Amino acid sequence: MIKSLHGRGGSVCLVTGASGYIGGRLVPALLDAGYRVRCMARSARRLRDHPWADRVEIAEADATDPESTRRALHGVDVAYYLIHAIGAAGGFAETDRRAARTFGGAARDSGVGRLVYLGGMDPEEDLSPHLRSRAEVGEILLRSGVPTAWLRAAVIIGSGSASFEMLRYLTERLPVMVTPRWVHSRIQPIAIQDVLHYLVGAAALPAEVNRGFDIGGPDVLTYVGMMHRYAAVAGLRHRIVVPVPVLSPRLSSLWVGAITPVPGSLARPLVESLRNEVVCAEHDIDGYIPPPSAGPVGFDRAVALALRRVRDADVATRWSSAGTPGAPGDPLPTDPDWAGGSLYTDERACRSGAPAEKAWEVIEGIGGEHGWYSFPVAWRIRGVLDRLVGGVGLRRGRRDPDRLRVGEAVDFWRVEEIEPGRLLRLRAEMRLPGLAWLEFGVRRDGSGALVTQRALFHPRGLAGHAYWWAFRPFHGRIFGGMCRGIARAAEQEVPSGARAPARLP
């Protein structure tokens, strides 16, 4: 089945693996470059939550099934092969081999003019099963009879990339690391922005080009070097690394699985691949596709871009699936749950018998002289502790007791977003080992209102995780009490322009 769009000009590009990390970011890049895009997936439903879903054609097909694959490739000028069975149950090598042969043959039969494949580097040494399978796929496509550009990359730096997420979690969660020998393997990482630049550019390669190209960023680092530099960019303390030669890749993958939320079936082949040094042997690609106009993105900047949504004020929108990311390195709402770094949440909902308008009045008047509607002693103590460590404490209060504007201070919070009558989001400015937000919402619920409340905390380093779990037992009293207090305050008979008492239990 093909769901098609009409009236769009330009060549037709088919993207396989559009629900994955690279494919989900390549599709909007191709659309922005003026191409028509058709996405191939085993189920169209897997693509419906992507922000670009209504701008593409969708073809349902299985890359191991010749008939459905030929239908999907009909009328296609350029096909991107971004399929890999890593993480799948059973052996992935045979699945990869069969899918590549089927797809290459179907592309030839359908008259496709160009294949573009993103795989791993192919160093001249004993390859891990993961890299060996990626290399075999590349060779199969090169022999398919369709001109193929095989782009070979090492570690891709961007939020959502499995390799980057593994680096992120290991560095953030372990101030002291006992590591195997593979942390000294040399790696030439590349930013997701540059990967997309070369992928889009490969669509216009001359027909006679049928070969592989190494693509990499400007920095060659060891894995331990990447961890140290990640820590510096993320504002973490210098990491202490103690190598232990006896840790095999198998044991290392179990260790990574215990420390990070990256699934073990994915972490294991990635860790095994780290025993290979992956450094560009050539840079011929620049002779066909000019480098990015601003130059290649270095490792430190790539990490900073990957962390941008975490460090910027609108970080909370990433986890609430707010829409299209602003840059290729930003998280997508469809990324796996384990991607994007740790984010702890505490969500509450309370029904109030008061009208939604009255509940909103209470929410907009929170803080300052009205207080926080729960456990006032705890709030005062937290304010004193914040001042003792150089923070602002509760002394700032608020400009207006009843109305708020974006950018205003509310005690040790700052108004980040306000949608009158519907949403208030505050960003914490107290001293914390991480970033925190407090979000309130209200909507009509029959004759009353439903008050929603969400606390979010993005920890920085091990101290951040410890901070969250140390205070976790008190969340029911503090956050739960706050939600109930707001709901009860709204029910009180309050004259227009007045407010409910601040110190509700």
Q: Locate the domains of the chain by residue range.
A: 2-319, 344-491
Residues 6 or more apart whose Cβ sits within 8 Å of residue 53? 47
Q: Which residues contact 326 (CB under 8 A, 6 or more apart)?
A: none
Long-range contacts, 493-499 (Cβ 8 Å, 24+): 494/358, 494/361, 497/402, 499/361, 499/362, 499/365, 499/370, 499/401, 499/402
- Answer for the pair 233, 313: CB distance below 8 angstroms, yes or no: no
Q: Which CATH number fits domain 344-491: 3.40.50.10490, 3.30.530.20, 3.20.20.110, 3.40.1790.10?
A: 3.30.530.20
State the pLDDT at residue 377.
86
pLDDT at 311: 43
Tokens 């926080």 found at: 372
What confidence score (pLDDT) does residue 287 get?
93
What's the confidence (pLDDT) of residue 86?
59
pLDDT recorded at residue 390: 78
> Is there a contact between 502 and 371 (Cβ–Cβ < 8 Å)?
yes
Q: Are strands 221-222 and 186-187 parallel, antiparallel or unpaired?
A: antiparallel
Residues forming beta bridges with residue 278, ordered by sequence position: 187
If phi over 0 gives left and psi between -120 and 50 gives alpha, with beta otherwise, what is residue 62?
Answer: beta
Into which CATH architecture does domain 2-319 fall? 3-Layer(aba) Sandwich (3.40)
Tens of pLDDT, residue by residue, the chain (505 residues): 444 443 334 699 999 998 888 999 999 999 999 999 999 998 888 888 788 888 999 999 999 899 999 999 999 999 999 988 654 444 677 888 899 999 999 999 999 999 999 998 876 666 677 678 888 999 999 999 999 999 999 999 998 888 888 888 888 887 877 777 667 888 999 999 999 999 999 999 999 999 999 999 999 999 889 989 999 998 888 888 777 766 565 666 666 666 766 666 666 667 666 777 889 999 999 999 999 988 999 999 999 998 874 444 333 333 222 333 455 555 555 555 555 667 788 999 999 999 999 999 999 999 988 899 998 888 888 888 878 887 778 878 888 888 998 888 899 899 989 999 999 999 998 888 888 899 999 999 988 999 999 998 888 877 888 888 888 888 888 999 999 999 999 998 444 444 443 333 2
Give the pLDDT score at 145: 94
Cα torsion at 63, 64, 70, 75 (round to 10°)?
Answer: 10
Task: Calculate ∠ Cα 136-202-131, nearest 5°.
Answer: 25
Residue whose structure tokens are 């699934």: 263
Helices 162-173, 461-471: inter-axial angle, 10-degree rounding: 70
* Helix locations, 33-65, DSSP H: none
Residue with tokens 């961890």: 227
Helices and strands (H and E) in the chain: how many: 17, 20
**Beta bridge partner(s), residue 118:** 151
DSSP β-ladder status, 176-179 and 240-243 = parallel
